[in-house]
Structure 1
């Protein structure tokens, strides 16, 4: 089976975290291209058939600009942290309509000691968040199946770092899934060890995750009137 990332991929990202400055990055840009960006682009290409089996409306786009890969450069305009580069590389497998409307995405994160795969919608706009919450209230049985099936919850955690302290206004506090309605993000996440990212079974592991998260992603797409 094909491999993509190596110990050199993690070594580069660890070094970047220690030497997060433009001169260092430019001097080592070849390492970034060879060990991080290009392997990620190959992985995105090889994920396309597995993604197509899950949904014809999602894209794994390897092109350098406007594709799935996030830029390694940080946007420092409104941040107190002025370091110019991220010490991780991420890629979003996006819905074909993501530029027109809010849409859930799959996401893969490469970072030493903090690799993971996720699926869902992060920081949705207020209208999209309201629509998801009301859809859960109106369709609780299918939400239970999509987000709380035992096999799903054994494999994935629901992101819970940004929760309301009390139920959102206008919702019944006795609703079965009121705790879920406190979420500001609707994201399922599973950690991956570094050895998985550098090993020969990375592609089938990720393909299995795309399939396993499909009911959750399908539910969120339905809530936002998106095809899946």
Structure 2
């Protein structure tokens, strides 16, 4: 079953985002969802060879419109996350299938208050290792530059003139790669995603080490 079914269904849904149309086309949605799950499960299996994941979560297509100005009842994408085994391993993976806006992402998009402070304090103390990783030519050729929301100025109790302020200001630490619809429906899509995710490991290994130790390098994980 090809994920092309998902692309085709989502294109139709974008033009007919209402409950009546969705109900009439529920069988097509079910097929699109099944095709998406097959690909996501394939990615999950491939990643377990080189990483430790505890689960894959495919998000529901139904939107919660209670507190949103956008009252469209359905998302126009299929998205899923791949969770690493915590607390020892940190960072997460995301895959989104959406016509014209397919992408994969990984990193830290909603770090806890405690984790964010720990990351910032690490960069304040020494930013050489993180910059060596994210500025490596091979790494950048795959993932480009670090993305994520950031503060307009320095966080409280941090020097706005610190040499690593570009990293310290960030609230998220994310890398992403876009895919065309043609790339998504190709037979090697799952393998490509797996290969790309595998190359993020230097970043994840470093960040996992940071988030499982204190500033003196002492492990925070209980035996």
Question: Structures share a fold, TM > 0.5?
Answer: yes
Question: Which SS does the other structure have where 2:106 is aligned?
Answer: strand
Question: Which SS does the other structure have where 1:130 is aligned?
Answer: helix
Correspondences of 1:1-228 after superposition (within 5 Å): 4-6=2-4, 8-35=5-32, 37-56=33-52, 58-61=53-56, 68-97=57-86, 103-156=90-143, 157-160=145-148, 162-225=149-212
2:3–2:39 contact (8 Å) kept in structure 1: no
- Distance across 2 between alignment mates of 1:134 and 1:125: 14
Q: Quick check: 211-220 or 165-174, which moved more?
A: 165-174
Structure 1: runs of 5 or more not aligned: 62-67
Normalised to the residue count of structure 2, the TM-score between the two structures is 0.85
- How big is the shift at 1:60? 4.7
CA offsets per residue over residues 135-163 of structure 1, 9 Å max, x none? 22334222123322222223223224x22
- Distance across 1 between alignment mates of 2:97 and 2:198: 20
Q: Quick check: 70-79 or 119-128, which moved more?
A: 119-128
CA offsets per residue over residues 59-82 of structure 1, 9 Å max, x none? 453xxxxxx101111122221112
1:51–1:60 contact (8 Å) kept in structure 2: no
- Distance across 1 between alignment mates of 2:154 and 2:125: 16
Structure 2: runs of 5 or more not aligned: 214-220
Question: Which SS does the other structure have where 1:216 is aligned?
Answer: helix
1:112–1:194 contact (8 Å) kept in structure 2: yes
Moved over 4 A (4+): none
Q: How many residues align?
A: 213
CA offsets per residue over residues 17-43 of structure 1, 9 Å max, x none? 2211112112112212212x2122112
